[in-house]
Amino acid sequence: MSIAWFILITCLLSMIQSFIFHKWGLVGLQYNRFFNKKTVFAGEEIEMIDEISNNKLLPLPWLRLESKIDQNLQFARKQDNSTEELSEEFHRTLFSLLPYQKITRRHKVYCNKRGYYELKTVSLTLGDVLGFGETFDHFNAKATVTVYPEIIPIEDIPLPSHSWLGNIMVRRWIIDDPFVNAGVREYSYGDSMNSVNWKATARTGSLQVSKRDYTSDHHLMIYLNFDETEDIWMPIQNALLIEKGISYAASIAQESISKGINTGFGCNSYLVEPFGEIIENNVKESVRIEPKNGKHQLTQLYDTMAKLSMDRSMSFKRFLLEDMNNRLNTDILIITTLLTANIQENIRLLEVQGNKIEILMLTDQLNDYKNMQGEGGYYAQ
């Protein structure tokens, strides 16, 4: 066989195999991806799982998957001390599949920041045996994860020195009502004899005392102010400080609900798409969750805080004004970087209606807070 025929046959075979892979390479190919957890706290690690199946006789010599991943979902192999900030990055992975083979890969992902992350599509590139041709396509491969705010120990939160928040948490557990019976428990040293439940003692064979419920029925609302200036059209400059405020709010909510206190949350931001509602003129609805207790309430608070946009729906002054007719006899904790005269005036109006309000100022330095704190939790003006 002459060299010319060899080259011709080689070229012909190359074209045939390239045609085969181009026409049937993607047939019978299935891809799926998901996270092993739907929710996670900031700073924790999860797994993103790729599953790909080649449901045909034709083997696939190489297959490249590529998708955009938010930089706050950091793959383990890329963790470093880089200070560069990118809104998103590409994640690429290569596969080689035999006929009717399924491959599952697990990627460890570090969740740097609270938020709602949705992966939508993946780009697929398929090559032939000789690498002469490539076929491109897109797969819908939706995967979502909700990253809750970082939880900070309550003792690390710079609450005002005369905070009533700690007091109501203590009172909720140490002041009981002698007229409200909440069951029985075993006798403990120090219990008075007139609290002994003789019927329960006779039934169980051991000394039992009546357990009392609590008269305290506090309702705590935690408000977070997203304003940095009075100009709501200005973009937020210090997002890290607002993120700290969100973590404070989540941590305080966890502590108060664990103490049996009905707890709610509100802020003058809005939820990211596809969540939240538009009320009018493309203005998005602010966030308010009324005080309740229990695990479901805490989960709802976490989920809402995770999905907050780093933007504002209205000024905090207007946000407080909307509460004037609806907020009565409520303990309110306001977390804010800004305390203007207009905001203070609305706070006083809320106090006139029987609400008890305390301010937690957000600062970059804890010492700034201690030096500037005034009476009642307000900053000295």
Quick: pLDDT tens for 229-239. Answer: 888 888 899 99
Strand locations in the chain (E): 29-35, 39-41, 45-54, 60-70, 73-75, 88-97, 101-111, 115-127, 134-148, 176-186, 208-214, 219-224, 262-267, 278-280, 283-284, 287-292, 331-336, 356-361
Would you state the torsion angle of the CA atoms of residues 6, 8, 11, 16, taken in this order, to the nearest 10 degrees?
-110
CB contact at 8 A, 61 and 94: no
**Domain spanning 154-172+218-377, CATH architecture:** 3-Layer(aba) Sandwich (3.40)
By three-state DSSP, how is residue 235 classified? coil
Which amino acid type is present at position 174? I
Q: How far apart are CA 245 and CA 337, in angstroms?
A: 9
Residue labelled with tokens 């700034």: 368
Q: How far apart are CA 210 and CA 331, in angstroms?
A: 30
Instruction: Quote the crossing angle between the two packed helices 239-258 and 164-174, to the nearest 10°.
Output: 20
HSE-CB at 301 with a 13 A cutoff on CA atoms is 34
CA distance readout (Å), 57 to 17, 47, 54, 164, 379: 14, 31, 8, 71, 73
Q: How far apart are CA 150 and CA 116, in angstroms?
A: 14
pLDDT band at 165 (very low <50, low <70, confident <90, very high): low
- Tokens (6 digits) for 231: 């100009």
Helix (H) or strand (E) holding 81: none
Residue labelled with tokens 């034709």: 58
The residue extents of the domains of the chain are 26-148, 154-172+218-377, 177-214
Q: 231 Cβ partners below 8 Å, 6+ apart?
A: none
Mean pLDDT of the 357-372 span? 66
Q: What is the pTM of this model?
A: 0.76
104-130 pLDDT, tens digit each: 999 999 999 999 999 988 998 887 766
pLDDT at 372 over 60: no
The fold adopted by the segment(s) 26-148 is: Immunoglobulin-like (2.60.40)
Mean pLDDT, the chain, rounded, equals 81
pLDDT at 344 over 80: yes
| Burial per residue of 68-84, b for 16 or more beta-carbon CB atoms within 10 angstroms, e otherwise | ebbebbbeeeeeeeeee
By three-state DSSP, how is residue 31 classified? strand
